[in-house]
Structure 1
Amino acid sequence: MTRGLYVNGRAAHVGIRMANRWWQRLVGLLTTPDLDHPSGLWITPCNSVHTLGMRYAIDVLFLDADGRVIKRVDHLRPWRASSCLRARATLELRAGLAEELDVQVGQRVALFP
């Protein structure tokens, strides 16, 4: 199921999938050939990600319990990892999309149906 994304209270017009079950978190984006649609994956709970086995780079937003961005990683290349111990969720986006949407540390992001 794809949901929409709010960035700092405004609709961002991109589709986001949710991964909140263990098997969804396990598979993540590995079976996704690209991130045109959906444009991202919201993983909860999650405070670290990897791109092992992936064929493309991603942007990663680490979020606190309120959906506030506490760390932003741009263009995380394949076969890399990143983490943020304070994070409660992560939002993996198509590489470059965080910049396009002007998502900054401290802003709040949320999903809508």
Structure 2
Amino acid sequence: MKRARLIHRGEATRIALDVAEHAFERMRGLLGRSCLDAAQALWLEPCNAVHTFGMRFPIDVVFIDDRNCVLAIHRNVQRARLLFCWRARSVLEMNADAAHVCGIGIGDRLAWRALP
């Protein structure tokens, strides 16, 4: 997986990303992790659907279109849920309530910048 920094409204944030671009990485997602640090998230690309079956902790799920605009935000998603957004190109998975804490809203632009 690539390591990157989340870019929100054109500015680098404190959120460190794992970028899952390969099929196996996307399928595994956050499964098997017991927690996610407050300053960590997972960017899945391409992706327009996620599930939380087998998850050990609640997450925020942010759907992003091909222009990097936020289409939908599902907050505090519990285990055993299935979410999808047909127009999405990417999905950002974060700790529960992290989207709110970071000030991410519908229509915001999100991107990532690879770390050296």
Runs of 4+ in 1 over 6 A off after TM superposition: none
- Give me the whole-angstrom Cα distance separating, in 2, the residues matched to 1:95 and 1:37: 9
TM-score when normalising by structure 2: 0.92
Partner of residue 113, structure 2:
112
SS at match of 1:31: coil
Q: Can you give the 5+ residue segments of structure 2 that lack an aligned partner in the other structure?
A: none
Instruction: Return the alpha-carbon distance in structure 2 between the equivalents of residues 38 and 6 of structure 1.
Output: 13
RMSD of equivalent CA atoms:
1.2
- 2:85 match: 84
Instruction: Single out whichever of 64-73 and 2-11 deviates more from structure 2.
Output: 2-11
**CA deviation vs aligned residue, 1:5-50 (integer Å, no higher than 9, x gap):** 1111122201110111010011110022211076111001111110
Aligned equivalents of 2:58, 2:82: Cα separation in 1: 11
Aligned residues: 113
The whole-number CA distance in structure 2 between the counterparts of 1:83 and 1:26 is: 15
- Give the share of equivalent positions with the same residue, in percent: 35
Q: Distance in 2 between matches of 1:18 and 1:52?
A: 21
Summarize the alignment of residues 12-91 of structure 1 with structure 2, pairs less than 5 Å apart.
Answer: 12-36=13-37, 39-91=40-92
| Other structure's SS at 2:14 match | coil
SS at match of 1:26: helix
